[in-house]
Copies of this chain bind each other. A is one copy, B any other.
């Protein structure tokens, strides 16, 4: 069975349910983690979690120890953790997982195309993303890729998946990547969405993946410097762990963060989010990805923030 790439006909998080071969998981903490947790518990898998400070990340030692302790069949990690603005280091983790006979599942929804990622070199077994982030395609499709090791696991499971819709045996055949001569109808795919996804991938390929990573990095640095010049603080202390696509800004002291985001939405037509999960109430979140990863967009956001900080109510206490 060779490695397999296909695309889901639904929102990204259907994939948090896909590797149903496993009965025990370990996952790193974040918003995506919470969904993963809810999702896995819903279908009866045992889920253990390791938790680190919001805005931080796990060391290889911490992961190694946790895998030794819990002995999961799958380790789930979010590469671009959009709730905290962290891009989690991936080097070496695949090897650690495989040492513990564990699959390595990575969510790269908020990072794919915007930050360096090497599925094969980094020993990632299952990698999924979404169409609507860096790729700037309409939402509704979710590319996913399986390593040979993952295929072995998925196609040799002893129990039937609970879901016909997400049964990888059917999907692999439908996408023509199971090596069988005949493809069998499984569902009516969102073809127009697939064409737009394909076009977004073609644009990224024309630009060059490495060029896109570099641009996101430079634009993010330009943005972060601009924020610090305004006196704002970044939520992620470690510069190397700052996600280039989603920036988390410490909610400015004395202000009501909701007033700031509402003011900017109303007066500048820009959507800036508050925190999510572990970062609720603590941060402002700005996503600049794909076509929006440009110095011109940064300047717009900085101007909007400057304006909001001038006009929004600041407590004197």
The interface of chain A, by Cβ under 8 A from chain B, is: 9-14, 16-17, 35, 38-39, 41-44, 130, 132, 138-140, 160-165, 167, 187-193
Contacts and interface: CB of A to CB of B under 8 A. Distances in A.
A163 B160 CA distance: 15
A162 B9 contact: no
Contact of A11 (B38, B138, B187): B187
A188 B130 contact: yes
B192 A14 contact: no
A82 B187 CA distance: 14
Contacts of A132: 188
A191 B141 CA distance: 12
Tell me what chain A mostly uses at the interface: helix, strand, loop, or mixed: loop
A167 B41 CA distance: 13
A188 to B, nearest CB: 5
A13 B44 contact: no
Given A42-B164, A44-B162, 12 more contacts: A9-B140, A10-B165, A11-B165, A11-B188, A11-B190, A12-B188, A13-B164, A35-B164, A140-B193, A162-B163, A163-B163, A192-B193
A130 B187 CA distance: 11
Given A39-B164, A42-B162, A190 B188 contact: no
Given A39-B165, A42-B160, A161-B42, A189 B139 contact: yes
A113 to B, nearest CB: 17
Contacts of A139: 188-192
A138 B191 contact: yes
B192 A43 contact: no
B130 A163 contact: no
